[in-house]
Amino acid sequence: MNLSIQKFAKMPTELGECSGLIYLNEKLIINNDGGGGPYLHLIDPSTKDTLGRKLISGAMNRDWEAITYYKKKNEILIGDIGNNLGQRKDLNIYHVDASTFQLNKTVSVVYPDQTSFDVKKHNFDCEAMIVKNDNYLLFTKNRGNKNTNIYTAPIYTSEFVFLDSIPLEGMVTDAYYHEESDQVLLLCYQFVFGGFKNSLVILKPTSEENFKVRSIFNIKPAEQIESITHFKDNKFLIGSETGFGNGRHLYIVTIEGF
């Protein structure tokens, strides 16, 4: 497989922290992380114009870091799962009707092996969430060992269990499950001098429900890449946050041979 990347759009100033991104019904739906309010923002990808924002009444945005689409129930799932300091005890997944943007259900997230909530270099931050076979899969952003731990629970439940741990080149910032190929795409970054070193990791599930790394690609430019979604065919969209005087861009990533 080969990868190429090209700039797609500059996002509006109100989307300075593009932490989650999906392409649904010919629209891009984007969320900011903590501080941006409980809103989903819409963009027309053909014109790059903003289409306003939707208030998710009844939800709180402590640190929204991931969104995904649950086709079976036509729901947008929002992961309020950012946990930079490892101290949060109010992690949630919001289930939102994709047609009306009404909040259907709130599911709490509790890591079964987290016994301490005051360790800075911890393994319980998370910015990546998918749904596979009617199960949540969370990919943590490990500050302690730079792996990603994978936790799973049946959808609509809080019965999370540890599934696997994978060493990666950086910390995971988003995930996308490509159902047609049964592969998971992870975005990762490392802090380097002058910015970020980003990578795109392709995982393939094994028969034991664990995962193995199939491919790793370096991603340029050196911006804080935070979100990914499938666009069309073998093309994916990734979004960057504002930082170090750059960012707030959408890029098209084309993976030949995907």
Q: CA separation (Å) from 101 to 29, 53, 250?
A: 11, 10, 24
pLDDT of residue 247: 85
pLDDT bin (cut points 50, 70, 90) of residue 245 is low
pLDDT of residue 106: 98
For the chain, what is the mean pLDDT?
Answer: 93
Query: What mean pLDDT is predicted for residues 8-24?
Result: 92
pLDDT digits (tens, 9 = 90+) for 74-131: 999 999 999 999 999 999 999 999 999 999 999 999 999 998 888 777 899 999 999 9
| Whether 43 contacts 27, CB under 8 Å | yes
pLDDT digits (tens, 9 = 90+) for 138-156: 999 998 788 999 999 999 9
Concatenated DSSP letters of 30-62: EEE-TTS-SEEEEE-TTT--EEEEEE-TT---S
Q: Which domains does the chain have, with CATH numbers?
A: 2-256 (2.120.10.30)
pLDDT of residue 166: 94
Among 88, 66, 91, 89, which residue's Cα sits nearest to residue 77? 66
pLDDT of residue 119: 77
| Whether 185 contacts 175, CB under 8 Å | yes
